Each structure stands twice: as structure tokens, then as C-alpha cells.
Amino acid sequence: MKKGILITLGIIVGIIVLWFMIFGGVYNGLVAREEGVTSAWAQVENVYQRRMDLVPNLVQTVKGYAAHESETLQNVVEARSKISQTNISSDAISDPSKLQAFQKMQGQLSSALSRLMVVVERYPDLKASKNFLALQSQLEGTENRISVERRRFNEAARNFNTYRRKFPNVIISNMMDFQKKAYFKSDEGAQKAPQVQF
């Protein structure tokens, strides 16, 4: 009788230990992947901040050459100002609407900078300026970094979301309230090829 109770008790303890090992492994995997997403998000914010820091220098350089292009310069300054006043926290990675709003503001700055570069084409002296060329090169490099970091963020989010949805991970992730991470998406209409007419 005692031997049967000990065997039953041993089986129960073994099942509990096994369950805790599985739970702990899945939980730790979720935490590690979530930290990967958070780290990737921090890097996205870092490269956007680099762009924000470059914009005032670029605007000041262009101002000296193109004083009568004030509307374009004002659009760049306003777009940058909107972004700097917005407080996006790391919870945006779990909320697609917050991430989309953040992306929309960044898109407005990108658009304003593109229009600024078109204005620059009208000023050969400005295009030849060493200061402007250096700033333009840094801005182009930053735009490339933004693209790379957004891709890395999406990869980290995909890795987390995939791991989160696997069985038995989905049970534990729901119990522990691990939320699905949002993705950066292309701007509206980006999938449509632009019409070029000569």
C-alpha cells in the first residue's frame, strides 16, 4: 500500500516538475523574444532620432540659399515639430494603430524632405556646397538605416509572433498576457507603381 502511494506521489511530483520545466522554458522564450522586439524598436527610434537631429542643420543650410522657398522649409520644420511633440512609447509595438500613427508622422517628414530635395535642384550653388553635400549624404545614409532597422524590427516581431502562436506556447502566452506585436507596413498606395510621363 505504501509502495503504491509513493509511486503515485512520485508520478504526480514528476508531472508537476515537467510542467514547470515546460512552462518556464516557454515563458523564458517569450520574454527573450519580446526583449528582441523591444530592442529592435529602440533601434528604429534611434535612427529616426538621428534623422530628427539632422533636419535642423539641413534646413539652416538650405535657408541661406533659398530664402524665398519658405513654404517648403516651413513644412519640413512643422513635420519635425509634430514628431518631436509626440510621445511614442514602447507599447506602440503591441498596438497597430499607434504604430501606424507613428509611421504616418514619419512619412510626413519623409515627404517634406523629398520636396525639399526637389527645391534644392533649383540651386546649383547649394548643390555644390560642401556642407549641404555632407548633410545630404548623412540624410541618405540615415534613410537607408531607417529601412534596415524597420526590416529588423519586422523580423523580430515575426519571430515573437510565430513563437507566441505555437502550441503549447499559445496557452502560456495567453495566460501571461503576451500581446501580438505590430508590423511596420508600407505607406498607403506604395504598392502602386508611379506613372511617369514625358
| 7-16 per-position pLDDT tens digit | 888 889 889 8
The domain made up of 2-175 has a fold known as de novo design (two linked rop proteins) (1.20.1440)
Structure confidence at residue 196 as a pLDDT band (50, 70, 90): very low
Of 150, 119, 142, 120, give the one whose Cα is nearest residue 132.
120
Q: What is the pLDDT, as a whole number, of residue 77?
A: 67
| 113-152 per-position pLDDT tens digit | 776 776 666 666 655 567 667 777 787 888 888 888 888 9
Helix (H, G, I), strand (E, B) or coil at 181: coil
In the block, cell 494603430 appears at: 97
Helix (H, G, I), strand (E, B) or coil at 47: helix
